[in-house]
Structures are given as structure tokens and as C-alpha cells.
Amino acid sequence: MKAVRLHKAGDLRLEELPTPEPRPREALLRVRAVGVCGSDVHYYETGHIGDSWVTEPLVLGHEFAGEVAAVGPEVTRVKPGDRVAVEPGCSCGECEWCLQGHPNLCPHVRFCGTPPTDGAFREYLAWPAEAMYPMPDSLSFADGAAVETLTIALHAVRLAKVRPGDSVAVLGCGPIGLCTIRIAQLAGATQVFATEIVPERIAAAARMIPPGGGQALDARDDPVPKIMDLTAGRGVDVVFEAAGAQETPPQAIQLARRGAGVVIIGIFEEEMIQIPSTPARRKGLTIKLCRRTKHAVERAIDLAARGAVDLGAIVTHRFPLERTAEAFELVAHKRDGVIKAVIEMGGNG
């Protein structure tokens, strides 16, 4: 089978690898679509995220969907021919955090496309069948690949406890930020202020915000004074940091009203970020960091299938597997108005 592996920072290679055989509780997936995530790009550009280093050739990719090609002898959840979206993290199910209902915090998680586990930028992948979720024909495989992005937004909004009537700010309007806007609206937020530096992403956010329901702002000019003016100096009830940029955590603290919540979703290139402690303390802010997601795949599929969330709107660019390196460069440098780039194999049905 064909696969794309990262050998070192900036070095993606299209190679031939053996097609895997599914274990008893695994299904062999014919991969049909894989999203290029910001974390994939971090590995591509630097060779690591935090202390997780690519030390040997690795297949990246954790946002994916496809059709089941074969199943192991103990699999009953899915069958050959099923169209599925996939949960990329498999927790142990036995540790303290798993038993408390927090599989996203499992220290023993096996995560697709994170060292040392190969990911989905390949034609076939064997993965636990319990992590595969059937999706209706109304959703394309590209939609299915974007389901994982939507699950992050679902978890972030759940962490923030957004309530009807809340005002929120979303700093960063990439795929996760845009999904967060929509999920916050579905949770009842009536005012959404979105900030971004890429013009096409500003426009995408603006299309999601109805008249009187907030505003999308160009963050190339400091958006804090404008949002504070729009909220009569009060600030917002919840701030979501979804840019992973050094300037956005301080902005989040400035924008949060007294007693507000701040959820940091972004992954930063630097290990340290700045949280201005005095205003955060004086405001009594609750600051949470969003670690992946949990128990959200079925909900995400349902929202997309019902049309409550348009996942197709965030997919702006499509490439074949052979052009994966080109897709990574596009996303890394935010060229051509890219929001989400997807690698497609064998059609996009």
C-alpha cells in the first residue's frame, strides 16, 4: 500500500508499506479521507510536540474516515462495507482517569499519528473496531474526517459550560475555532465575537454570525478594545483560545468578564505561554485547558447528519495522497485562504 511518512522535520516521503492485518478486535479500514490538522503540521515543522518526538519514520494523521475492508474474528461492531468515522485515541480503560470517565486524560492512550503509533496518511489502517462509528450516506468521507475536529469543539464548549444567553469570544478561526463558534451558538450563546488574522477565515466566521449576534474582527489590529466597546466594557462570559498564538492568552484574560471562564484549546509552538496573573486573579477567572475530547463522536456525527453543523464548509482544499507534502505546506503557511485541507483516496463519496 502507499503511505506518507515523516522522516524528520520537513521531510515527508511517499513510500510503499505492507498492508496491515487486523488483530482479533480490529478492523482493517480502507482510508478514504484524512484531514491535515494543526498538530500534524507541528510535527512536520519541528519534529515534535512538547516531549513527543518523531525519532523514526512515522505516518501522521488522526482525522480520518473510510470504509471497513475486513474485520478480525472477534469484531461485531462493524462489518465490511461500513462507512465509518474514527476516534483516533484508544485509552486503556483501566487507569484512574479512564475509570473516572476521562479517557482523554489516559496516560496510556494509543493515539493515531502520534509517536510511536502510525496514523492515517496511508491507504489502509488496522484499528480497534470499538473506535469506529458508522456514519450515514448523507455525510461524505471528507465530512467524516472533519468529525474529530467537531468533537474538540464539543468538548471545549462542554468544559466552558456555555449557557443560554451567554456572550463568548473565539480567538482563532481555523477549523476548530469555526466549529467552536457553531457549537457555542447551539449551546445558547447569543453574542459571538470571533477574531482571526487570515482574511478568508474572518469571512468564514462572519458568515456564521447572524446580524445582531456578534461580530468577526480582524486580529491584525488589536481586537480587545473593539470587543470591550461592543460589550459596554463588561467583557464576555466565556473566552475560547483557539489560535495557539502567544498574543491570544493575554487577550483572553483581558476580554473575560469578572467570574468568567477561559478555555485554551490551541497547541502552542512554545512550551510556555503568558497568563497575566493579576487581572486573572482579580477577576476570579476559571481557566481550563482542553485536552482532546471525550464521548463526543456520536454526537458530532448526529449534528453533522442533521445539518446543524456544516462540516463541508470548513473543507476548502482537497489533495490526493501523492500531494500530501504540498497540502502540509499550504496549511503550514496558511496559503490560498486554506481552512481545512483533506487528503482523499479513492473518491470522496
Q: State pLDDT tens for residues 36-61.
A: 999 999 999 999 999 999 999 999 99
Delimiting residues of CATH 3.90.180.10 domain(s) in the chain: 2-134+310-344
Distance CA 164, CA 162 (A): 7
- Tens of pLDDT along 128-180? 999 999 999 999 999 999 999 999 999 999 999 999 999 999 999 999 999 99
Residue with cell 469506529: 132
DSSP H or E segment with residue 64:
strand 63-71
* Region class of 164: left (phi > 0), else alpha (psi between -120 and 50), else beta: beta
Provide the CATH number for the domain formed by 2-134+310-344 in this structure. 3.90.180.10
Q: Is the pLDDT of residue 349 over 90?
A: no
Q: For residue 213, give the DSSP letter.
A: S
Strand partners, 27: 71, 127
Q: What is the pTM of this model?
A: 0.96
Write out the CATH class of domain 152-289.
alpha beta
The string of DSSP letters for 28-54 reads EEEEEEEE--HHHHHHHHHSEETTEE-
Q: In the chain, which residues fall in CATH 3.40.50.720?
A: 152-289
pLDDT tens digits for range 94-127: 999 999 999 999 999 999 999 999 999 999 999 9
